[in-house]
Amino acid sequence: MKNKKTVIIFSITLIFLFIIAFLVLSKENEETKDEFIKESSELVIGKIKVAVSPTFYYLFQDLKENNNIEVFETDSTLEGLDLMERGVVDVAVLGRPLREEELSLLSEVVGGGYDFIYKEEMVISEEEMSEIVFYTDLETEEVINDFKQITSRNIVKIEDIENYIEKGIVITSIDGLLVRELVHVLKDDGSRVRLSRLPRVYYFEETPRKNLDYLIDLIEDKK
């Protein structure tokens, strides 16, 4: 009888301790959640106004309702730069490197893609890619993996793009100002082949780093 009473008391004690532990953990989780929400709300300084060129609309399709982001869909890189120059937007996500005569901005590459360049501006279709010999200073295997129309038979590894840009289309990654002209690689429906442009975030020197990191993290999640 005594043993039975001891077991009952022990069981009640365990249950009581379990309830206390559960309440303590629940409170800690709630405090952690509140702290996370507070940190997230303090992550950006004001609403980030972003101009986006057509190639990268897809990156922002489900971000239009984001309370920290206001998206301005533009028709071109030029329009995005104009919105920045007039102070309408804070940041622009564009696919074309800046030209020497254009507004001086800082930039960061934020996703996968390439720059297709040639001595003059031109348009090619996705189907035509299999009939064109391309030159690249990048790893040919990576380019072949990203474009099914390019094989080892129609891409040539080079060292200096300046020696080949007069001969044909060069696939590269431009770090700085635009060299020569971009090639527009289009699908049958007229939309751009996504990886034929390298996404860049353009911003002013005074743009808060918190805002940039927040935006870049959102874009990186869409890669």
Token pair belonging to 142: 């990576």
The answer to whether the CB of 68 falls within 8 A of the CB of 77 is no
The answer to whether the CB of 55 falls within 8 A of the CB of 197 is yes
Is 108 in a helix, a strand, or coil? strand
d(CA 202, CA 77): 11
Q: How many CB atoms lie within 10 A of CB 195?
A: 17
What integer pLDDT is reported at residue 5 of this predicted model?
A: 53
List per-residue pLDDT tens for the chain, 223 residues long: 545 555 455 556 556 555 655 554 555 555 444 444 344 445 677 889 999 999 898 888 877 667 788 999 999 888 999 999 999 999 999 998 988 887 778 989 988 899 999 999 999 999 999 999 999 999 999 999 999 999 999 999 999 898 899 999 999 999 888 889 999 999 999 999 999 999 999 999 999 999 999 999 888 876 5
Identify the residue whose tokens are 């927040």: 214
| Rg of the Cα atoms in the chain | 27
Torsion of Cα atoms, 55 then 56 then 61 then 65, to 10° = -130
The answer to whether the CB of 121 falls within 8 A of the CB of 182 is yes
Q: How many CB atoms lie within 10 A of CB 158?
A: 19
Looking at this protein, which amino acid is placed at residue 104? S
CA dist 90 → 82, 128, 150, 175 (Å): 11, 38, 38, 22
What integer pLDDT is reported at residue 43 of this predicted model?
A: 65
Its pTM stands at 0.74
